[in-house]
Copies of this chain bind each other. A is one copy, B any other.
Amino acid sequence: MSVLNPSLSVDCVIFGLDTQEQALKILVYERDIFPDDNSGNKNLKFPGSLVADDESLDESADRVLKELTGLKNICLKQFRAFGDPARIKYDEEREWSERHYGVKIDRVVTIAYYALIRIDEHNPDQKLIKDKLRWINIDDTDNLAFDHSYILAKSREALQQDFIFQNVMAFELLPKKFTLQQLQSMYELILGSKFDKRNFRKKIGKAEYIVPLGEKQNGVAHKPAMLFRFDHKKFERSKEGIRNFFI
């Protein structure tokens, strides 16, 4: 049996919440290996690169994200390794990789990370955006480079599971004081489904960690909405609750 010494990379799936457009977007990096007119998304890939000799996987992901996008202090979460022998789909992709990295590329195993950020708070380096980087809507992500559409599907599953089960990161995306409309919109974007407004509010009434502030929005033309805050401690207790929910 011939054993594998693969090239090893990290890839960063950055989910960006666009609160202006009420959209969930993905940060992609553009190459120019396929002609523009019929390439679809084949030139688009996640920020990613090869792991260096002396760094851990987490260190590598932080470094690569910073080098390629300017983003730093982002909470990246490793969620899965992808190592199918056929994950480089086209000869052009292999040639691009060898040219880009200056090494012979046989198989590449990639360790994938994801993060969820607010676009208006964490903008990638504008110069890089103009040249190479852009946000695309999560609904327009078919047929990305390599196996990146598959990686995206898996990262979204991980995001949703973590969002429900253990992460408070989503609440860090909301303003300190938020309306139920903002809250519902965030849930809908992350979980990828629409909720009935009345049902949503009924359930929110039961969630102790979403606390009414007894004050209303300022400076809106009419019908200012009630404001709420997120209670960290109560959320931690409700995570205990979810353990008990199944028994």
Which positions in A face B, CB cutoff 8 Å? 1-8, 50-57, 78, 80-85, 101, 103, 107, 109, 111, 161, 164-166, 187, 191, 195, 200, 203-204, 207, 238, 242-247
Q: This chain: how many copies in the complex?
A: 2
Inter-chain contacts of A78 with B (CB < 8 A): 80-81
**Top 6 A-B residue pairs of the complex, sorted by shortest distance between their CB atoms:** A57-B83, A3-B50, A81-B81, A2-B53, A5-B5, A4-B51
Inter-chain contacts of A3 with B (CB < 8 A): 7, 50-53, 101, 103
Q: A56-B84, A109-B57, A247-B204 are in contact. Are A5 and B2 (CB under 8 A)?
A: no
Most chain-B Cβ atoms within 10 A of its Cβ — which of A53, A81, A247?
A247
Min distance, Cβ A86 to any Cβ of chain B, angstroms:
9
Q: A242-B242, A244-B203, A247-B187 are in contact. Are A50 and B164 (CB under 8 A)?
A: no
A54 and B85 contacting across the interface, CB-CB below 8 Å? yes
Could you list 18 A-B pairs, sorted by A, with CB under 8 Å? A1-B53, A2-B52, A3-B103, A4-B51, A4-B52, A8-B8, A56-B83, A57-B81, A57-B82, A57-B83, A57-B84, A78-B80, A78-B81, A109-B111, A187-B247, A195-B247, A204-B247, A242-B245
Cα A103 to Cα B101 with chains together (Å): 25
> Which residue of chain B has the shortest Cβ distance to A166 in the bound complex?
B161
A207 and B247 contacting across the interface, CB-CB below 8 Å? yes
Inter-chain contacts of A107 with B (CB < 8 A): 53
Min distance, Cβ A32 to any Cβ of chain B, angstroms:
23
Inter-chain contacts of A56 with B (CB < 8 A): 83-85
Cα A204 to Cα B191 with chains together (Å): 28
Cα A111 to Cα B50 with chains together (Å): 17
Cα A195 to Cα B240 with chains together (Å): 13
Inter-chain contacts of A80 with B (CB < 8 A): 78
Cα A55 to Cα B86 with chains together (Å): 10
Q: A1-B52, A50-B3, A242-B164 are in contact. Are A83 and B109 (CB under 8 A)?
A: no
